[in-house]
Each structure stands twice: as structure tokens, then as C-alpha cells.
Amino acid sequence: MTSHEAAFHLAVKQFEQAERILLVSHIRPDGDAVGSLIGLGLALQQAGRDVQMVIDDGISADLRYLEGSRDIRRRPVGEFDLVCTLDCSDLTRTGVALAGRPICDINIDHHATNLNFANINLIDTQAVATAEIVADLLFSVGIEMTYPVATALMYGLLTDTIGFRTANVSPKSLRLTADLLETGVDMAGLYRRALTNRSFEAARFWGSGLNKLKRLDRMVYTSLTLADRQEAHYPGRDDADLINILSSIEDTDISLVFVEQSDGHVKVSWRAQPGFDVSKVAMDFGGGGHAAASGAEIRGSLSEVQAAVIEKTRPLMNGGHRVE
């Protein structure tokens, strides 16, 4: 039995034995964080468990249509038999949601930069999303894959693969997608909500970033300031997925977006074409992620962080951290 198989069976046993379960995902949650959290949370509730789902930042209003999303809270209340993190490469990504709870029992994730911080680390770097691992768990123990659970997991798969367009999409992930579709999931509706619909404010926010777009060799980058966010009336603290627009630019190997934060940090997002690994650079700045998609939050002014990150990232195009 491989270490992954052993972790899988131990995790299943823990979930079967626990009665009160705390599930936590990361700050500034993306679709996979929310989808895997809700999918596992609802399934465990169906199985009779007392479950709390927690995200330090809460979730944005545009995700409230997912059944179970309104059960997500910012802080846990009470004691628990089991604590599980989802889609978190390290405990700092949970913010203060686990403050005073130093022990993490199960860590479910698919990031290669995961620090294996829990008693049981169920990490599958071949999975296209944490939602894929959760689905494997649920199918393996025979928990009924209801429409709300399948919809949440499908949302995680769709968003982390950008509509099944990433290089790590596999026959397994597509077979799993077919199994989820069997429950009646509205794939077209989810796709629209997850990947194509944008608010007017998000589009204006994009305009600010696109207006400042720069190219350096085969790297493109831009920045979004607090003033840009205020002018656009954009409510989030992210880049409104502008990074995925930049990554579609022709003759570009690496894309970067720098987003100024109100706490003295800058949120940095990297995207790379196949053959380049930006995760190691992200880790140098205290972040992490995947070879083709990583992020970090770095203390400093926008200009300081931008200069430092570009200096570290530019050598990748000359052979550094290149994936052969």
C-alpha cells in the first residue's frame, strides 16, 4: 500500500468515527476551496455528522447560489472530534480560523507545495482539484452523491481547471466529471457562473489593470492599486480573475498580476505556460501553488514587491525552474 493509499484509508476511518467535525479552507477562497468545503460538508451532514464549515474571509455574494454556502461561517464555535483543512498548502492559509486549535487531524490538498502539517496528509498532486480528492473519498465510502454535493464539487473542478483547459486534466478527472453529471448537475449554468459571468465592477477593475499592462521579454505583468479598486467599486481583494486574461496573451510564457492590499501587503498571482514552474518562485516569497499557477502575499509597497518579484521571476525564461 502506498503512502497515499494509507492516508486515504486513515482519513476515511477518521471521518467514519468522528461526530463533530470542523472543516476549514483558505482565506480569499477560490472556487475549489468553496466547492470542496461545501461538497464534503454537505455529504458529512447527510451521513449524520455535526459539521461546521469555516472560511476566515467568508465567501463572496456571487457564490451564495451554491446550496450550503450560507452555512459557511467565519469562526468555529465549540469543540470538535476532528479538524480537517481543504485546499490549504500550509496552516497560515487558514487565517485565524484555527486560532487556539493547533492540531489539524486531516489535510486534504492537491498542491505540490503542501507542507504536510497534519496528522494525516491526504495530498494528491496529480488531482486537478481538491474537489477531485473529496469526490474520490465520497465515492469510496458509498455516501450518496446528491445534486447539491455534486454541484459543489463540479464547481471546484470547473474553476481550478478553467473549464477543463489546464494541462493536468486527465481521463480520471473527466470520468469523475461524468459521474457527477449523472446527478443532474447543470454544467452549462455552472460554467457561466464560474467562468464567463463578470460584474460591471469587475470589468472596470480589469480596465485599470489592462491600461497598465507591460511586457518584458516573454513575460507580461500589471498592477491593481487600492485606488483602482475604489474607483471601480470592486468589492473583492483579489484581481477579479484578470490573471487568466493575461495568461491568454500570445507569445507569453509567464503572466503576473500585483494587487495592492490595505494591510501593507501585495497579493501576487503567477501563471505560466507548460514547461515553466513558477511555484518555486512563489515559495521563495512565502507562497505556493502549482507549476503553472501560484500565488503569494508579500509585505511591502507595490513598487518594492513588483521589482523584487520580477527580478526573481525573469530568470525562469532563461532556464531557471524550467520543467523538462
- The stretch 291-307 carries a mean pLDDT of 95
User: Does any domain span residue 71?
Assistant: yes
- Among the candidates 179, 195, 211, a domain finishes at 195
pLDDT reading at 324 higher than 50: no
- Among the candidates 137, 164, 195, a domain finishes at 195
User: Does any domain span residue 188?
Assistant: yes
> Could you tell me what percent of the chain has a pLDDT over 70?
98
User: Does any domain span residue 323?
Assistant: no
Domain that holds residue 18: 3-195
Residue 180 sits in the same domain as residue 261: no
- The stretch 70-88 carries a mean pLDDT of 95
- The stretch 26-48 carries a mean pLDDT of 95
pLDDT the model gives residue 319 = 61
Residue 40 sits in the same domain as residue 142: yes
Residue 20 sits in the same domain as residue 86: yes
Pick the more confident residue, 276 or 2.
276
Mean pLDDT of the chain: 92
- The stretch 53-65 carries a mean pLDDT of 88
- The stretch 148-176 carries a mean pLDDT of 94
Residue 135 sits in the same domain as residue 235: no
- Among the candidates 195, 220, 240, a domain finishes at 195
Residue 107 sits in the same domain as residue 154: yes
Domain count, the chain: 2
Q: In what order do the strands lie in the sheet with 265-272?
A: 214-216, 219-224, 254-260, 265-272, 293-299, 288-289
Residue 184 sits in the same domain as residue 229: no
Residue 24 sits in the same domain as residue 154: yes
Gap between the Cα atoms of 174 and 168, Å rounded: 11
CATH of the domain at 269: 3.10.310.30
Query: Kind of pairing, strands 265-272 and 293-299?
Result: antiparallel
Among 2-11, 81-90, 160-169, 266-275, which is the least confidently predicted range? 2-11
pLDDT reading at 116 higher than 70: yes
Local confidence band at 283 (pLDDT 50, 70, 90 cut-offs): very high
- The stretch 31-45 carries a mean pLDDT of 97
Q: Helix/strand/coil (H, E, C) string of 138-175? A: HHHHCCCCCHHHHHHHHHHHHHHCCCCCCCCCCHHHHH
pLDDT reading at 18 higher than 80: yes
Residue 53 sits in the same domain as residue 179: yes
Residue 140 sits in the same domain as residue 269: no
Residue 109 sits in the same domain as residue 187: yes
User: Does any domain span residue 172?
Assistant: yes
pTM: 0.87
CATH of the domain at 157: 3.90.1640.10
Residue 121 sits in the same domain as residue 85: yes
Digit-coded pLDDT (tens) for 94-107: 988 998 777 899 99
Local confidence band at 247 (pLDDT 50, 70, 90 cut-offs): very high
User: Does any domain span residue 324?
Assistant: no
User: Does any domain span residue 300?
Assistant: yes
Digit-coded pLDDT (tens) for 182-213: 999 999 999 999 899 889 999 999 999 999 99
Gap between the Cα atoms of 314 and 91, Å rounded: 29
Digit-coded pLDDT (tens) for 219-234: 999 999 999 999 999 9
Q: Helix/strand/coil (H, E, C) string of 221-251? A: EEEECHHHHHHHCCCCCCCCCHHHHHCCCCC
Residue 53 sits in the same domain as residue 115: yes
